[in-house]
Amino acid sequence: MDQFSYKASFNMTVEFVMENLEKYTFPNIRKQIQSVDIKNPILVVSVRDGNDMIGMSIANYDMSQEFSEIVSFYIDPKYRNKGIGQELLSKTEQILAHKGYKEVRTYYWSSWDSFQATNHMLKKQDWSEPEQLMKLFRTTSDRVVKIPFRENVVLPENYKIIPWSWISPDEKKAIREEQEFIPFYPEYLSPFNNEEKINYYNSLALKYKDKLAGWHIAYWYSPETIEYSNLFIRPEYRLGMKTPLEMIKMASLLQVEQGIPEYLWLVGLENPVLEEYFERKFGDYCEKIKIYRSVKQLH
């Protein structure tokens, strides 16, 4: 590896990378920031062959947290399978450990061409066995209109589905206050996460009489793609799958009306009933992708 040089830049910004180094990012940094909150500054570790950059890793560099996350990792195809990626990962780990991080994480998808190579590299570096976090169902509006949804579904008595935009500030305030006093939903399903990315056209609320009983929030993943990863119904109002499935159907068809072509449905493994529904109902109309996480303790 003597002909290759490695350099760490500790105060780089996402904006600089997008403007000057985007082609050395994977997954693409510009697409990532549309759905992932990557805060400045970021750690960039580059590798060069002479004066030519041939690879780069990017990690979160927020020292208020005990762990860092590698959000991008790229090696020029001509230089792959030569141990360079292994060395770049090792350098990144060493720098993060030296800066005081206790743990480093990364996430990767089964649909990547580099999936097996990523698995192999992480295993050689003594990262944890990959943990499947969720399953992603990806499709397009021209396929959604072919899905055999049930028509004329009658909701249980006193239940109704309305636009999330109809929920008043006072109702939202009451939900926040209740959550602070006696938490009733997991924070990753909060309807107040990433509010700047909500697509209000097809985000929905569930009401029981006059009480907010649940929500199905849609997020802008990119200008062409809507992500659905936040479906929650309060436990006391869960009466089987009829209501949440009707919310999924309504949001999906509203997206068709809106003319946004691509869909991402994310289903966590803690919800096997919903996963089974997507497999059964949407399986022939979607690409199915598994999302994994791997972790390494830094010493």
User: Under 8 Å CB-to-CB from 14, ≥6 apart: which residues?
Assistant: 29, 33, 38, 40, 42
Instruction: Clarify whether residues 113 and 151 are in a common domain.
Output: no
pLDDT, tens digit, 9 for 90 and up, residues 86-105:
999 999 999 999 999 999 99
Summary mean pLDDT of the chain: 92
Q: Specify the pLDDT at position 270.
A: 78
* Adjacency order of strands within the sheet including 204-208: 4-12, 42-49, 52-60, 67-75, 103-109, 287-297, 131-140, 262-268, 225-233, 211-222, 204-208, 159-163
Range of the domain at 164: 139-292
The residue among 96, 127, 158 that closes a domain is 127
Q: pLDDT tens-digit profile of 254-280?
A: 999 999 999 999 988 778 888 888 888
Confidence tier at 2 by pLDDT (50, 70, 90): low
**Residue partners of 220: CB distance under 8 A and separation at least 6:** 34, 197, 198, 199, 226, 227
pLDDT in tens, 190-244: 999 889 999 999 999 999 999 999 999 999 988 899 999 999 999 999 888 889 9
Q: For residue 201, is it within any domain?
A: yes
pLDDT at 281 over 80: yes
Mean pLDDT of 132-156: 90
Q: How many C-beta atoms lie closer than 10 Å to residue 190's C-beta? A: 17
Among 127, 154, 178, the domain-final residue is 127
For residue 111, the model assigns a pLDDT of 93
Residue 297 resides in a domain? no
User: 298 with 255: CB under 8 angstroms?
Assistant: no
CATH of the domain at 20: 3.40.630.30
DSSP summary character for residue 111: T
Residue 1: pLDDT over 70: no
